[in-house]
Structures are given as C-alpha cells and as structure tokens.
C-alpha cells in the first residue's frame, strides 16, 4: 500500500530545521522525533494509515508484559499457531514447547510468527481477548488511527501511521524486556530433544558498531512494504525513527543510515566511538 501525501505532518523543530537540509528518503512514510522533547526532526506522510506488518509485535509484547503472566511458563506450539494468512514458514514445529519469555524474545528479535501467535493464544480469554487488549492499549496511547486484528502482523488489517507508531515506540522503550529482546543480535533456544535452534536479529543494524540502538523492530508483508522502527542515540541525541512502506531489501537500512549521517552532520556534537551492537 503506497502512502499518499497529507497536509498534517507535525511542524519541524525550528532550531534543527533552520540549519539542516533534509535528506532524500525513499520510505513512503517517515517520522524522526527527538525522544526527550517529542519534536519532529523529519516528517513525511506521518498521518497516512498503512499496514504495519510485524511492527505489530511491539504492541503484542506490551500486552504480554502488562498481563504479568510468568515468562517462565512453558507454552507449546499448536496447530492454531500455523500461519494460514501468508503461509510463512517456521522452525517451531507443532508440539515444540518453549517458555513465554523465549517465545517473546523470538517474536521480537527474529519476528517469529508462530511464537507471536502462541503468545496471543495463551493469553487469558484467548486470541480475541488479546486483540481487544491490543486495541485498548492503542486507545490509552492515543493511537487514534491504529487498529490491530492479530498479534503477528501478518494481516494487512493491522494498520497505523508513522505518528502513532512513534508513540508506540516511545512507550515500548520503557519496558526493559523489550529493549533487551529487540536489540539482541542473536539467540539460541534448546528444544526438549536437545536440538538447538539459532536465531539472528532481523535488523542487521543492531550489529553495526557505529549505531547505538536501544529498541528495534522490523516488519514486512507485501501490502506494507519493508518497515523499520528504532530508538537510537545519534550525536548524543536520543531519537525515535519510523520508516514505513520501503520497497527493496536495502531501502529501510539505507534510509536509517541517511538519517544518522544527516543528524550527525548538523549536530554540534561529534559522534562517539564504538556503538552498542
């Protein structure tokens, strides 16, 4: 779904806009805001409603953690967790049992869809109650243009805007578990049969020593294009970056790097040395 221009983008931080020539970003909808003051550094189609794919899983994680259900509780993958929307594959076979915490980590770090589906199903009241909690959380965050229909993001009916997602990322960043799980570069789970499954972060920037990333989530389905949201510290400034509807495998990463270079080149503070990765 291609984002269309609208006239409701937030005003840019005047102190930054006065000296910063904005980069040419390829993502259809973009918002970069200062995390401390909430003021926009870059805004493009921020009120356009689009599918958000696996960015949805950040809301899934907040609902799971808000429930205070034990992360050590074992949950078995069931037939109902198989993706019947897009037909995506998973290495978590039916009958595989992992803790809620491991499922949450795989859903956030590696965007594992069966893990997210199992978390949704294992919620008190089942998937319907879980989705209701997701939408209630969206209301609490004033995400007025957002709607959730499942915990995986596989349905194109999971929709939001760059503006709403900046609110969601800002709130998700307050959860220590989400910060940790979304920035793990790799993780291994050991199954009951002794087999080990290795997973890697779906955002390769978390392994880049020139980035300091505090939260990260990728997303992709055909209807949404490639999406990326992050909290990062650039030139000593914490920012939230939302990139939606990027086409091509490298566009969202390229846009993120262009944003980083742009902020650094227009900052009075030089970038530090090695970054978290």
Show which residues are catalytic.
54, 57, 111
In sequence order, which residues have a C-beta less than 8 Å from that of residue 249 and are 6 or more positions away?
226
206: exposed, middle or buried (C-beta count within 10 Å: 0-12, 13-18, 19+)? buried
| 119 vs 121: CA distance, rounded Å | 6
198: exposed, middle or buried (C-beta count within 10 Å: 0-12, 13-18, 19+)? exposed
Q: Which two tokens stand for residue 120?
A: 């949704």
Q: Which two tokens stand for residue 129?
A: 């109650």
Instruction: Annotate 96-121 with DSSP letters as a single string.
Output: -EEEHHHHHHHHHHS--HHHHHHHHH
| 83 vs 107: CA distance, rounded Å | 14
In sequence order, which residues have a C-beta less than 8 Å from that of residue 5 and are 6 or more positions away?
45, 48
In sequence order, which residues have a C-beta less than 8 Å from that of residue 66 and are 6 or more positions away?
133, 137
In sequence order, which residues have a C-beta less than 8 Å from that of residue 250 and are 6 or more positions away?
none
Say which DSSP state 72 is in: T
Length, in residues, of the chain: 277
Taking CA atoms, 166 is separated from 11, 12, 212, 270, in Å, by 15, 15, 18, 25
């Amino acid at each position: 779904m291609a984002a269309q221009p609208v006239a409701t983008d937030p005003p840019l931080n005047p102190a930054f806009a006065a000296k910063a020539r904005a980069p040419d970003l390829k993502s259809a909808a973009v918002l970069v805001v200062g995390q401390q003051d909430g003021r926009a550094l870059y805004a493009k189609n921020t009120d356009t409603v689009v599918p958000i794919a696996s960015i949805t899983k950040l809301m899934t994680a907040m609902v799971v953690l808000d429930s205070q259900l034990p992360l050590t509780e074992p949950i078995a993958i069931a037939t109902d967790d198989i993706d019947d929307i897009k037909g995506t594959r998973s290495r978590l076979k039916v009958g595989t049992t992992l803790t809620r915490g491991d499922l949450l980590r795989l859903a956030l770090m590696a965007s594992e869809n069966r893990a997210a589906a199992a978390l949704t199903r294992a919620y008190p009241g089942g998937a319907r109650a879980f989705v209701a909690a997701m939408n209630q959380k969206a209301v609490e965050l004033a995400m007025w243009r957002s709607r959730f229909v499942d915990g995986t993001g596989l349905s194109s009916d999971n929709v939001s805007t760059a503006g709403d997602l900046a609110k969601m990322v800002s709130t998700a960043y307050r959860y220590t578990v989400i910060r940790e799980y979304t920035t793990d570069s790799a993780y291994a789970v050991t199954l009951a049969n002794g087999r080990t499954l290795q997973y890697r972060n779906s955002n390769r920037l978390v392994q880049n020593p020139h980035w300091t990333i505090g939260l990260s989530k990728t997303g992709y389905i055909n209807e949404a294009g490639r999406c990326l949201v992050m909290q990062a510290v650039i030139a000593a400034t914490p920012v939230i970056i939302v990139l939606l509807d990027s086409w091509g495998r490298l566009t969202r990463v390229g846009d993120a790097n262009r944003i980083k270079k742009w902020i650094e080149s227009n900052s009075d503070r030089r970038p530090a040395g090695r970054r978290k990765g």
